[in-house]
Amino acid sequence: MDFSFDTRTQELVERVTAFMDEHVYPAEETFEHELAQLEDRFAWTQAPVMQRLRATAKEQGLWNFFLPGDTGGLGAGLSNLEYAPIAEITGRSGHLGPAAFNCAAPDTGNMEVLHMFGTPEQKERWLTPLLEGSIRSAFAMTEPDVASSDATNIATSIVRDGDEYVLNGRKWWITGAVNPDCEIFIVMGKTDPEASRHRQQSMILVPRDAPGVEIVRPMHVLGYDDHEHGGHAEMRFTDVRVPASNLIGEEGAGFAVAQARLGPGRIHHCMRAIGVAERSIELMCRRVDSRVAFGRTLSQQGVIREWIAEARVAVEQLRLLVLKTAWLMDTVGNRGAHTEIQAIKIATPKVVQEIVDRAIQAHGAGGLSQDFPLAASLAGIRTLRLADGPDEVHKNSLAKAEIARHTTAG
């Protein structure tokens, strides 16, 4: 057992940290202003500072860290465990960090899907420009009319018609989709409602410009429209026709592909959330040391100190759990890491939400405002407790396995 990073990771951590210090943090305010002045405030890819950041990072080879294994020169080829600490650092500046290195969701997950399951044609047409960073993508699974945590509820239909598939359905919370540069959607729907529970669904590639694809409106999260990363669209697909060759994998493979997409995504999300927690702790410490009430700095108040101590203790535990999960993914694979992948989803958002909430409280009313990144962080973290299924669904499933482990065969 060894808790130190290997040399390569350590060096990469240092390079990325230096890039963040030199380029990313100083750009935060500029990015916000530039977005406000764009004709389409959701077109974040067009903000000059974002384009500069991405060009510089690419030039320095700080690019596509997320893609594991042999990538044929397309990415850094890091393992999950090697990428995890990088993800944490980029998460400290949530609007800029991940995108600067072409490591922002949902593109990362979509690229993985194409990398693992795409045909050579699909890869050339969509994966290459995504890896180059010249287009963006979205992943359309959640639906407004049903509890989407139960995949069998999905109602969007994908019907074969000759050489084409025809899509009909409504989706919402399609992150990134409001950005006009989002050119391609991976859409989950049902090809066979009569098949067995987990063979009904398929995934298919739908270009933005296909007739019948419609962005209905941007969804808000606690007042934010999240235009900084392309918003969350409600969408309608009406008799949308795409070539049959746009199917990802075979018919009925949708659920399996979705599962394969989940594991690394969870690790990324959780590590970035830990970055948010770290930055919140840092801001909290600085704030409380600079404010005086009733004759003492806030940093001398016992209750404030308790918050800081509990935050530190919680984050150390979370990080280790996520890193171990990444290590399991690398060594025994998605299936062997199943419990841990559930565990990090259950543990991380809740703990980080509490840390950010307390950092806000320690800031006074300013903490809720646009003057600090805390309020936006709180909104972002809050969504993670619902993203790819509410925590409660995962707890239920994890517990079932735990009970079985203690009560069967032994």
Question: Nearer Cβ to a copy of itself, position 206 or 375?
Answer: 375
Please identify, using beta-carbon distances, which residue of 76 and 233 lies nearer to a copy of itself: 233
Least Å distance between CB 88 and a copy of itself?
A: 14
Strands 136-140 vs 182-190: parallel, antiparallel or unpaired = parallel
Tokens matching residue 156: 């969007």
The CB-of-125 to a copy of itself minimum distance in angstroms stands at 31
- Specify the pairing of strand 157-161 against strand 232-243: unpaired
Cβ-based nearer residue to a copy of itself, 30 or 149: 149
Alpha carbon distance 311, 120 (integer Å):
47
Nearer to a copy of itself, 250 or 316 (CB): 316
In the numeric block, which tokens belong to residue 332?
């025994």
Angle at 234 between CA 388 and CA 396, to 5 degrees: 20
Q: How far apart are the first and last CA of the chain?
A: 29
Distance in Å, CB of 243 to a copy of itself, minimum: 31
Q: How far is the CB of 252 from a copy of itself (least distance, A)?
A: 20
Report, in Å, the least distance between residue 249 CB and a copy of itself: 25
- The helix/strand/coil state of 388 is coil
Q: Is the Cβ–Cβ distance between 348 and 273 less than 8 Å? A: yes
Cis peptide before 106 (omega within 30 of 0): yes
Rank residues 128 and 383 by Cβ distance to a copy of itself and give the closer one: 383
Shortest separation between residue 126's beta carbon and a copy of itself, angstroms = 26
Dihedral in degrees, nearest 10, Cα atoms 207, 213, 216, 222 = -30
Residue 77 CA to its chain's centroid (Å): 19
| Cα–Cα distance list, 83 to 89, 264, 310, 336, 381 (Å) | 10, 10, 27, 19, 21
Nearer to a copy of itself, 1 or 196 (CB): 1
Angle between helix 107-117 and helix 254-290 axes, rounded to 10 deg = 150
Closer of 133 and 275 to a copy of itself (Cβ): 275
260: tokens are 């394969």
Are 272 and 193 in contact by the 8 Å Cβ rule? The answer is no
Is residue 165 within 8 Å of 242, Cβ to Cβ? Answer: yes
If we measure between CA atoms, which residue out of 225, 224, 241, 243 comes closest to residue 233?
225
As a residue count, the chain comes to 410
Give the shortest CB-14-to-a copy of itself separation in angstroms: 16
Q: Smallest distance from the beta carbon of 318 to a copy of itself, in angstroms?
A: 7
Smaller CB separation from a copy of itself, 116 or 403:
403
Between 131 and 188, CB nearer to a copy of itself: 188
b vs e for 71-84, b when ≥16 Cβ sit within 10 Å of the residue's Cβ? eeebbbbbbbbbbb
| Residue 283: CB minimum distance to a copy of itself, A | 9
